Amino acid sequence: CGMIAGQLALADALIIGNCTNQVKFSELTIDMFRMLQALEREPINLAPQIGKGGPQETTEKHSKRENPHKYLMYKPTFSQLYTFLSASFKELPANAVLLIYLSATGVFPTVRSDFEGPYDFGGVMTNNNRDGSNVDGVQKRNQSFKEMHCLHPGDIYPFTRKPLFLIVDSSNSIAYKNFTNLFGQPLVCLLSPTAYPKGIQDQSQRGSLFTLFLYNPLMAFVFMCRLTNMRKALWDQCQEYLRRMNIEIVQLLTQTRTIDQAFLQFFGDDFLRL
């Protein structure tokens, strides 16, 4: 039988949003809201249970840990984002994981460089403010100019000194494709697709399909099939099929010898299984 390596647990999550024209509630885009819900669990009543559950049921409920601490950042500047990243990294306990979720408009390189390093593939734009400087003039004079509030893969490298789980939902998620693991710590990067199949319309202003799958796979399937109504009994039946499928997937993943060990190290945490 398979075995899940490591005892890592998700401690902190930075949820960052800056998608152009996406529906939002106050300072929360729909993608940010969905990821927030994906990393939440309903509070459990830990009062002593009397009945057939008995002490064993109470013990099982006690074993369920608290929700991870979350930083919600809408359109953060580079300095704001780095401040919160550094603070979270500093307080991260042993065997704990930092999750970074980026839902932002892609920034693409304007000039192809002879040396393609971690700052030459672009990244994601966390804030559109150009601080009132003459950026356009500087950009025309200097081809190596880069956006101040673009988060490049190289900006995150220092934080891979501890276990890191990175999710990038962006039109330029491919910039993080060759994310280098410099320190040998557990590292996983989940990247959204950058193109949609012909039969699926891009409706990212109503939320990303990639994030919707992370939040609720069945809802994403329903959306792709363009179903607007479904009987509750059918919904519940589909949820049961999905639950069985997830059990089979877990068994396959934990028994295989070819999967990257980083996935198995994170797999012991129910939040990181998403």
Q: What is the CATH number of the domain that holds 209?
A: 3.40.50
Residue 59 lies in a domain: no
Residue 202's pLDDT band, with cuts at 50, 70 and 90, is low
- Longest distance between any two alpha carbons in the chain, whole Å: 76
Backbone angles phi, psi at 241, to 5 degrees: -60, -40
Residue 184 lies in a domain: yes
The domain of 164 spans 9-38+67-131+144-272
Tokens standing for 17?
Answer: 């949003």
Q: How far apart are CA 48 and CA 58, in angstroms?
A: 6
Residue 62 lies in a domain: no
Residue 177 lies in a domain: yes
Give the residue-averaged pLDDT of 135-157.
72
- Report the share of the chain in percent with pLDDT over 90: 50
Residue 47 lies in a domain: no
Residue 243 lies in a domain: yes
Give the residue-averaged pLDDT of 188-205.
81
Tokens standing for 39?
Answer: 């990393």
Distance of CA 195 to the CA centre of its chain: 18
Give the residue-averaged pLDDT of 152-164.
96
* Size of the chain, expressed as the number of residues it contains: 274
Q: Are strands 164-169 and 187-191 parallel, antiparallel or unpaired?
A: parallel
Provide the domain count of the chain. Answer: 1
Predicted confidence (pLDDT) per residue in 230-266, tens digit: 899 999 999 999 999 989 988 888 888 888 888 888 9
CA atoms within 13 A on the CB side of 169: 27
Q: What is the pLDDT of residue 64?
A: 63
Give the residue-averaged pLDDT of 55-71.
65
Helices (H), the chain: 30-38, 54-62, 78-91, 135-141, 153-156, 209-215, 217-224, 232-255, 261-267
Q: How far apart are CA 209 and CA 221, in angstroms?
A: 10
Backbone angles phi, psi at 170, to 5 degrees: -160, 160
Residue 46 lies in a domain: no
Lowest mean pLDDT among 16-30, 83-97, 179-193: 16-30
Residue 60 lies in a domain: no
DSSP 226-239: T-----HHHHHHHH
